[in-house]
Amino acid sequence: MSRIATVICAAVAVAAGGYWMTASNTNSVNPLVGSAIAQEADLDTSTIIEMVQGAEDAPVEIIEYASYTCPHCANFHQGAYKQLKKDFIDTGKVKFIYREVYFDRYGLWASMVARCAGPEKFFGITDLIYQGQSEWTQAGGPTEIVDELRKIGRLAGIDNDQLEACLQDGTRAQTLVAWYQENAERDDVTGTPSFVVNGKKVSNQSYEDFKQLIEDELGS
């Protein structure tokens, strides 16, 4: 079995069981919901919204594949990404698409929180998740980690009822995993962060090298 297939099998089991909270205690994770949910659900990956920044008709399209639990991704978003946004995204030269990668259940949980308030708040919540990555990923076991992610969601202005509805949406979790699988297989994503620039896969690199790559695509 390939690494991606192994990850998907694990993520499906987590999404089916690990996102449903017990009725008596919404702060605990219920491990009893079976993976049969994934088999029975009618998963339509076209319902997953692409998270996009920049001009729709920008001459350069960059797709980033990233995991919220990946330290290299956090470093990119706290550094090079901010410069990329200033130099190219905000100036209409780059259309930037962010796609989540699920190498573990915690990354999937973080994605459910980041997407909870829709595209308008997605990148702001993503920034908060990466800023606090070293804290929430080390908070303890699953219960403590999901509690820390709840705190980030509330900090971003998501009310408790909406946040719990997002975290308990097992079908959406399954659909996100299926969407990730489709993307990863199509673009040969095996690690994070990975980038696709105008259809060509490129490795993580320094901002100066990345900038030169974009300028080459722009013909400047």
The answer on pLDDT for 148 being more than 60 is yes
How confident is the model over 80-90, as a mean pLDDT?
Answer: 96
The residue that leads in pLDDT, 42 or 60, is 60
Listing DSSP states for 66-95 in one string gives E-TT-HHHHHHHHTHHHHHIIIIITTTSEE
Q: Which domains does the chain have, with CATH numbers?
A: 3-43+53-218 (3.40.30.10)
What was the pLDDT predicted at 220? 59
How confident is the model over 128-134, as a mean pLDDT?
Answer: 97
CA distance 215 to 23: 54
What is the pLDDT confidence band of residue 10, given thresholds at 50, 70 and 90? Answer: very low
What was the pLDDT predicted at 19? 36
What is the pLDDT confidence band of residue 43, given thresholds at 50, 70 and 90? Answer: confident
Looking at the chain, the whole-number percentage of residues with pLDDT higher than 70 is: 81
What was the pLDDT predicted at 20? 32
What was the pLDDT predicted at 204? 82
The answer on pLDDT for 15 being more than 80 is no
How confident is the model over 32-52, as a mean pLDDT?
Answer: 66
CA distance 87 to 12: 38
Please state, rounded to an integer, the average pLDDT across all residues of the chain: 84
What was the pLDDT predicted at 6? 42
Which residues partner with 95 through β-bridges?
61
What was the pLDDT predicted at 185? 93
H or E stretch including 53? strand 51-53
Q: Using an 8 Å Cβ cutoff, are 180 and 130 in contact? A: no
H or E stretch including 195? strand 194-197
How confident is the model over 73-95, as a mean pLDDT?
Answer: 96
B/e letters for 64-89, b = 16+ CB within 10 Å, e = fewer, are bbbbbbbeebbebbeebbeebbeebb
Summarised one tens digit per residue, pLDDT across range 164-194 is 999 999 899 999 999 999 999 999 998 999 9
How confident is the model over 208-212, as a mean pLDDT?
Answer: 93
